[in-house]
Amino acid sequence: MNTITPHADSVEFDPFSQEFFDGAYETYRRLRDEAPVYYNAKWDFWALSRYDDVAPATKDHETYSSAKGATLDMVKAHDDAIPVPKVIISMDPPEHQKMRKLVSNVFTPRAITSLESMVREKVYERIQELDPSSFDVVADFSALFPNDVITTMLGVPKEDRDQIRRWVDLLLERHPGEIAVPAAGFEASMNTGIYYYNLIQKRRAEPQDDMISRLIETEIERDGQVEKLTDVDIAGFATLLGGAGAETVTKLVGNAIVAFADFPDQWQKLRDDHSKIPAAVEELLRFEAPSQYQVRTAMRDVTLHGITIPAGSAVLLVTGSATRDERMFADPDRLDIDRERKMGFNLALGYGIHSCLGAALARMQGRIAFEALLDLIPEYEVDRDGLRRVAMSNVCGWSNVPVRKLN
Q: Is residue 10 part of a domain?
A: no
Out of 67-81, 139-153, 273-287, least confident range: 67-81
Of 103 and 197, the structure prediction assigns the larger pLDDT to 197
What confidence category does residue 331 fall into, taking pLDDT thresholds of 50, 70 and 90? very high
Q: Is residue 236 part of a domain?
A: yes
Rama region for 69: left / alpha / beta (φ>0; ψ in -120 to 50; rest): left
CATH of the domain at 341: 1.10.630.10
Query: What local confidence, expressed as pLDDT, does residue 323 receive?
Result: 94
Query: What local confidence, expressed as pLDDT, does residue 35 receive?
Result: 97
User: Residue 147: is its pLDDT beyond 90?
Assistant: yes
Average pLDDT in the chain: 86
What tens digit of pLDDT does each residue of 155-179 get? 999 999 999 988 888 877 777 777 7
Question: What is the rounded CA–CA span in Å between residue 306 and residue 358?
Answer: 38
User: Residue 98: is its pLDDT beyond 80?
Assistant: no
User: Residue 143: is its pLDDT beyond 70?
Assistant: yes
What tens digit of pLDDT does each residue of 351-386 get? 554 456 668 888 999 999 999 999 999 999 999 999
Of 95 and 277, the structure prediction assigns the larger pLDDT to 277
Please compute the mean of the pLDDT values over residues 4-19 and round it to a whole number.
Answer: 74
Out of 34-43, 223-232, 334-343, least confident range: 223-232
What confidence category does residue 88 fall into, taking pLDDT thresholds of 50, 70 and 90? very low
Query: What local confidence, expressed as pLDDT, does residue 100 receive?
Result: 57
Of 399 and 81, the structure prediction assigns the larger pLDDT to 399
Contact at 8 Å (CB) between 195 and 173? Answer: no
Residue type present at position 223:
D
Of 195 and 7, the structure prediction assigns the larger pLDDT to 195
Of 332, 365, 316, the C-alpha closest to 124 is 365
Q: Is residue 119 part of a domain?
A: yes
Q: Is residue 346 part of a domain?
A: yes
Q: Is residue 282 part of a domain?
A: yes
Q: Is residue 11 part of a domain?
A: no
Q: Is residue 318 part of a domain?
A: yes
Peptide linkage before 157 cis (omega within 30 of 0): no
What confidence category does residue 78 fall into, taking pLDDT thresholds of 50, 70 and 90? very low
Q: Is residue 134 part of a domain?
A: yes
List Cα–Cα distances, 316 to 7, 135, 320, 355, 364, in angstroms. 14, 36, 11, 17, 29
Q: What is the pTM of this model?
A: 0.86
Query: What local confidence, expressed as pLDDT, does residue 21 receive?
Result: 86
Question: What is the rounded CA–CA span in Å between residue 131 and residue 141?
Answer: 11
- Its domain, for residue 272, covers 18-405
What tens digit of pLDDT does each residue of 109-142 get? 788 888 999 999 999 999 999 999 999 999 999 9
Total domains, the chain: 1
List Cα–Cα distances, 369 to 62, 135, 210, 400, in angstroms. 38, 15, 23, 17
